Structure 1
Amino acid sequence: MNNYSIFQKIIKKEISANILYQDKIVTVFDDIKPKAPIHILIIPNNLIKTANDINKKNKDIIAHMFYIAVQTAKEKKISQDGYKIIINCNKHGGQEINYLHMHLLGGAKLKTLY
C-alpha cells in the first residue's frame, strides 16, 4: 500500500474520518494526530504528490484549498484570534505522506518556527 492511500480511502469514505466538508475539488477532515486544539487537513480529491507537482493545469486547486481553509477557520471561530495554514513539501520540509495536504491549525496561541 502506498503511503498516500490513506487519503484516497478517506476521500472515497472507505475508512472512517471526521469529514467536515467535501466538494468535487477537496475533502476536509480532522487530523487524527492533532498538534493544536483545532487541526484540520484540506486535501485535493485528485492526487498531487507534493507542492512541487503544482503546475499550470492544477494550480487553481491551491486557491480553492486556501479559500476552503479560510471558510473553515471562520466556521470553527478561530479566524479572529488567528490560525496557521501550513503545507509541508518533501522529507526535509516535514511532509510525511506523499499527497499534497494543507494543515489548518488554531484554537490556541501557536508557536512560531522563526
Structure 2
Amino acid sequence: MNSNCIFCSIIKGESPADFIYRDEDFVVFHNIRPSAPVHVLMVPVEHIESLNELKEHNVEVISRMILKSKEIAEELGIKDSGYKLVINVGSGAGQVIFHLHIHLIGGWSKS
C-alpha cells in the first residue's frame, strides 16, 4: 500500500467508496466522477502504479479482474447492450491516479 494513494486509502477503508465487489485481491467501486451512465473502477489491492509495472505474479489477479468484468457488467445491466474496459497507462494517456485500475464503462442508450 502507498500512503499517498487515494485507491490504497479506499481499499484500507480510510476513504469512502460505493463498493460493488471486494475480495482479497481486488475491489470494484463506482467512480465518483463517472464519464458514462455506468462507470465503475476495478482496482487491485496491491499497489501497482500502471500496466508498465506489472510482474509475472500479477497475472492471476489481472486475469480474474478481466473475467469478473463480465459478471459486474451483467449485475449492472449492461452486459447485453455493451460496455468497454479502459486502462490508461501514464499521464500522456490520461492516467490521473497512479494505481493500476480498469474502468468498466457503459450504459449509453442507442440513438
Q: TM-score, normalized by length of structure 2?
A: 0.91
CA distance in 1, matches of 2:17, 2:56: 31
Instruction: Provide the aligned C-alpha RMSD in A.
Output: 1.4
- After superposition, the C-alpha distances for 1:18-70 in whole angstroms (9 at most, x for unaligned) are 01110011010000000000000000001111001112121222111111211
Counterpart of 1:19 in structure 2 is 19
Shift in alpha-carbon separation, 1:91–1:25, aligned structure 2, 3 A: same
Counterpart of 1:44 in structure 2 is 44
Opposite residue 22 of structure 1, the aligned amino acid is R
Spell out structure 1 runs of 4+ moving beyond 6 A.
none
Unpaired runs of 5+ residues, structure 2, are: none
Aligned: 1:74 with 2:79: no
CA distance in 1, matches of 2:8, 2:91: 20
1:109 positional shift: 4.8
Counterpart of 2:86 in structure 1 is 86
Q: Secondary structure at the match of 1:69?
A: helix
Identity among equivalent pairs (%): 38
Unpaired runs of 5+ residues, structure 1, are: none
Counterpart of 2:29 in structure 1 is 29
Aligned pair count reads: 108
CA distance in 2, matches of 1:75, 1:109: 17
Counterpart of 1:9 in structure 2 is 9
Counterpart of 2:65 in structure 1 is 65
